[in-house]
Structure 1
């Protein structure tokens, strides 16, 4: 039985728009943006004019849909229109695209916020016995925890069952058929890790071994791509759709939509959900020393992501050149040259440039939400995150209702550009 929020023609029309945008993206840029689709609907709209007319039809049909489904659908359809405009090269301000496609702010993260994060990282490094400047401490930590590129897959494999067991115990249930068919390495890509859902509850993970990997950082990315991150999300949604518990209007994942901050923010917080970074959390098989390393890795990634997100904004806003943005990421975020260049390839890409902000903003939105929820309400939180279709704005409201407090995850990033010192 198919769960529907709208009539059959409207529901199928929504999926058709998504899959047709995917086809146009593949034609123009050779990339897939509908990375999962669980229904039997196929794309039928062969050009942007047809897609635009279908968006008009759907928009008219959903204008009076009440409650949460109405808010969700209107936000999604608005994003389809703006993403289509981006694909066609419409020259709109970068912040307007990010607001309408992802419901996220697009501004500079304050210098104060970055300095506070650097202080957290330095404290963690000092606690582990490292001495010198922040860069000296961080570089020595990297040296001590580095993995040979040919060992990355083996180390990732060692985390597979432990992270899945923790997911089933502490986060969400998954069907028995769930699993990863392969974990592989690759080179020449701009991303660090990639989770490919192949259907029937199965997936594959790939890690880029051009970039340097340390064990603590790989733990964060392995749980991000696998369990309870992307593979868990993809599989759970497939299961829910087949059980008639996920509406056809939300039976897919689309890069460049208001769901992105949840889809990246959950995996960015995945290791935290497992308790691998918390001494007060009893976690089987993870030593106290390992937890300190994983917490430091998360704090370090957050510091890097702040520099990366600012560089993304400054470049796409026309305020930095390629060379300046790469230098900025190396200097402010302590990225290696290859990491900075790969990140630039990511956020300067014509498709990914309007997706990249979901990592930073999603991390803080979902991470702060999880930490604001009492242990007694974590099951309710995971139901909101994994089982309920949400946009950025509806998720923020749902967390506020769950906690009984006004939830404002992005307050710390609102600043005027002229107040920021590069």
Structure 2
């Protein structure tokens, strides 16, 4: 077993993670340790016990040098802030995001909104749609809609092609890898969910309360399965079993500094396959389909800006629930169902400090991929999939890979509210 620290420190780190998971289930009936590859069990029954172990681990990590020390100290700091959030400590939201996610809490600019809005409108026009932007979007969605009872079937059809592309272009997965079931659900606030069950297997679930279209489902399916979450979970399991992933990073924890990578990779997953690159060879994916996928990506990015801005405005105390939902619907053109689901997501006591990982992760990981030359893509994927990274250590690694400072969050400025 690969270790970065002595036996007791490594086991204590995993114990803290799993004990935070138990406390979250006790308080909010939610799982936050969505994968753990060792046989270590939670033993810490109170926040005082967790705090005491955090103190111990912090002392032990003070002298740990290099990437290992930077990574683990950031993770332990994130654990502490997450524990404070769970206990209801009055920590400002932007301070929680900075310490748990290593991300800014600044609203995404009007310039970025205008840029994406223009891309969406241009894409719709090139596909032959006419009228106002709202009219074009409505017609496009009607033309590509999937009936709720067919969502899982369409997702399954995508999955075979996306896994083939993952194995060819992105990463190796063991032969035992696979999805055991693709399910539908109602009454939840998320769109799709990838549940890792262990031994390289997983299940997918899609929320059929929300409207689905073929090009949008392609984005979400690749996010949840290949080369998204299932690929990440399976790859980490494989690496741990083969002594290439350290015990100290042998889990995935919602609300930790790794989240922007874990969501940013899947948010960029379809792009990794080349399904939205017009001059890249992709068997089974036509040029016409690629134009749809490009439009869907821009459309989802635009919607994510509005939901992320609403998340920040609400959690920073600038708007109330009704104002946040109204902003998403009137400014963002988001359907009432999706706006209300987004609000339920980012106002949730656990998920409120996770939600920024989606947009900022997509931004960071996507910019890093596009900045990396084709002959360095294998190393890029090793950094993203195979190396434990926090937001900041990933930014540093991409800068080193490309011999150029990487500043994904440059130029952020305040939006009108």
Structure 2-normalised TM-score? 0.99
Q: 2:416 aligns with which of 414, 418, 421?
A: 421
- The aligned counterpart of 2:180 is 181
Question: What pairs with 1:29-40 in structure 2 (closer than 5 Å)?
Answer: 29-40=28-39
Distance, in Å, in 2 between the alignment partners of 1:101 and 1:194 is 22
Distance, in Å, in 2 between the alignment partners of 1:421 and 1:235 is 42
Shift of 1:334: 1.6
Shift of 1:204: 0.1
Shift of 1:333: 2.1
Distance, in Å, in 2 between the alignment partners of 1:214 and 1:140 is 11
Shift of 1:415: 2.0
User: Are 2:41 and 1:42 aligned?
Assistant: yes
Distance, in Å, in 1 between the alignment partners of 2:7 and 2:182 is 39
- The aligned counterpart of 2:264 is 265
- The aligned counterpart of 1:359 is 358
Shift of 1:301: 0.2
On the 8 A contact 1:364/1:409 being kept in 2, the answer is yes
Distance, in Å, in 2 between the alignment partners of 1:17 and 1:197 is 21
Deviations 1:61-104 (A, max 9, x none): 00110000000000000000000000000111110000000000
- Aligned residue for 2:121, secondary structure, equals helix
Distance, in Å, in 1 between the alignment partners of 2:335 and 2:195 is 27
- The aligned counterpart of 1:119 is 118
Shift of 1:133: 1.2
Structure 1-normalised TM-score? 0.98
- The aligned counterpart of 1:317 is 316
Distance, in Å, in 1 between the alignment partners of 2:386 and 2:2 is 14
- Aligned residue for 1:41, secondary structure, equals coil
- The aligned counterpart of 1:81 is 80
- Aligned residue for 2:157, secondary structure, equals helix
Name which of structure 1's ranges 111-120 and 336-345 shifts more when overlaid on structure 2: 111-120
Distance, in Å, in 1 between the alignment partners of 2:322 and 2:47 is 35
Deviations 1:87-123 (A, max 9, x none): 0001111100000000000011111111111011111
Shift of 1:41: 0.6
- The aligned counterpart of 2:61 is 62
- The aligned counterpart of 1:405 is 404
- The aligned counterpart of 2:293 is 294
Question: What pairs with 1:98-247 in structure 2 (closer than 5 Å)?
Answer: 98-247=97-246
Shift of 1:160: 1.1
Unpaired runs of 5+ residues, structure 2, are none
- Aligned residue for 2:180, secondary structure, equals strand
Deviations 1:208-247 (A, max 9, x none): 0000000000000000000000000000000000000000
Shift of 1:152: 0.3
Distance, in Å, in 1 between the alignment partners of 2:89 and 2:79 is 14
CA RMSD of aligned residues (A): 0.6
- Aligned residue for 2:195, secondary structure, equals strand
Distance, in Å, in 2 between the alignment partners of 1:69 and 1:368 is 25
Shift of 1:144: 0.6
- Aligned residue for 2:194, secondary structure, equals strand
Distance, in Å, in 2 between the alignment partners of 1:394 and 1:421 is 32
Shift of 1:332: 2.3
- The aligned counterpart of 1:387 is 386
Distance, in Å, in 1 between the alignment partners of 2:91 and 2:110 is 27
On the 8 A contact 1:16/1:42 being kept in 2, the answer is yes
Distance, in Å, in 2 between the alignment partners of 1:243 and 1:109 is 41
Distance, in Å, in 1 between the alignment partners of 2:79 and 2:303 is 30
Deviations 1:371-416 (A, max 9, x none): 000110000000000000000000000000011111011114x224
Unpaired runs of 5+ residues, structure 1, are none
Distance, in Å, in 1 between the alignment partners of 2:416 and 2:189 is 28
- Aligned residue for 1:411, secondary structure, equals coil
- Aligned residue for 1:36, secondary structure, equals strand
Distance, in Å, in 1 between the alignment partners of 2:331 and 2:305 is 9
- Aligned residue for 1:245, secondary structure, equals coil
On the 8 A contact 1:305/1:333 being kept in 2, the answer is no
On the 8 A contact 1:179/1:202 being kept in 2, the answer is yes
